[in-house]
Amino acid sequence: MTSLATSPPKRAFWLALLLNFLWINASEVFRYFAFVMPLMRSSLPQVQDVAPMNLPVFMIWGVWDTVLVFATTGLSWLLLERFGPTLRNAIYAGSAIWATVFIILWLGLWNMNLATTQVVLTALPLAWLEMLIAALIVRWAMVRGCLD
């Protein structure tokens, strides 16, 4: 547990938030266009306009990404501040956030027949990597902030 005297400054948190905003948005867009959208369209052709990309959908994804950035950065920060900014704890934090958000999302979609096993088995590892890197970004900013 860190004390107030050794806790990283607020600007380290804002740096982590900014970097995660860039990272998570890039990762989400890449994963969707490169894997999820084509897989959903090929595996669910009977669903009209499955995996669309238009302005309303783009706006909703913007809200999703914003919530995801704040949740991932904030929860990683809290966990690393409480348990220490070690590499192991960053991996735990990223994995816990991934399980909380993405496993619940994709398990629910799969359970309702709105995603195939192939889509789930492609999307989940990529989402885990995204959350792992996001937690490592928080750790890096936090450790860097303590050194300033």
Q: What is the pLDDT of residues 99-147, one digit of tens each?
A: 999 999 999 999 999 999 999 999 999 999 999 999 999 999 999 987 7
**DSSP codes of every residue in 65-119:** HHHHHHHHHHHHHHHHHHH-S-HHHHHHHHHHHHIIIIIHHHHHHHHTTSS-HHH
50-101 pLDDT, tens digit each: 999 899 999 999 999 999 999 999 999 999 999 999 999 999 999 999 999 9
**What pLDDT band is residue 4 in, cutting at 50, 70 and 90?**
very low
**DSSP codes of every residue in 21-45:** HHHHHHHHHHHIIIIIHHHHHHH-T
Report if pTM > 0.85: yes
7-50 pLDDT, tens digit each: 678 999 999 999 999 999 999 999 999 999 999 999 989 988 99
**pLDDT given for residue 77 in this prediction:** 97
* Residue 128: half-sphere exposure toward Cβ, Cα within 13 Å: 13
- Residue 97 sits at the vertex; the CA angle it makes with 102 and 12, to the nearest 5 degrees, is 130
d(CA 132, CA 98) in angstroms, rounded, equals 8
- Ramachandran sector of residue 124 (left: φ over 0; alpha: ψ -120 to 50; beta: rest): alpha
Inter-residue contact 103 to 21 (CB < 8 Å): no
d(CA 130, CA 132) in angstroms, rounded, equals 5
